[in-house]
C-alpha cells in the first residue's frame, strides 16, 4: 500500500477516507510483522484518522 500523507488525506472526500482507512487496515494485517509495508499502512491509518477527526462535528 502506498503511504498517504496528511496533505493527501485532506484532499479526499470523507467517504473515500473511510474506504482508505479500511484498505490500510487490511494492508496492515496482511503485511509481515515489523515490515516497511506494515509501518506505511499504520502511518496511513493515522493520517486518515487525524483528517477524519478534523471533520467530525463538534458538540
Q: What is the pLDDT of residues 35-45, one digit of tens each?
A: 999 999 999 99
Q: Give the tens place of pLDDT for each residue, 8-56.
A: 999 999 999 999 999 999 999 999 999 999 999 999 999 999 999 998 7
Does residue 1 sit within a domain?
no
Give the pLDDT of residue 9: 96
Residue 57: CB partners within 8 Å, gap ≥ 6?
A: none
Q: CA–CA separation, 20 vs 1, rounded Å?
A: 10
In a domain, 26, yes or no: yes
Residue 45 lies in a domain: yes
Number of domains in the chain: 1
Distance separating alpha carbons of residues 49 and 43, to the nearest angstrom: 10
Structural domain boundaries enclosing 15: 6-55
DSSP 6-35: HHHHHTS-HHHHHHHHHHHHHHHHHSPTT-
Check residue 59 and give its pLDDT: 63
Amino acid at each position: 500500500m502506498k503511504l498517504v500523507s496528511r496533505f493527501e488525506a485532506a484532499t479526499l472526500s470523507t467517504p473515500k477516507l473511510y474506504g482508505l482507512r479500511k484498505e490500510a487496515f487490511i494492508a496492515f494485517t496482511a503485511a509481515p510483522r515489523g515490515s516497511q509495508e506494515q509501518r506505511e499502512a499504520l502511518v496511513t491509518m493515522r493520517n486518515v484518522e487525524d483528517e477524519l477527526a478534523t471533520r467530525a462535528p463538534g458538540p
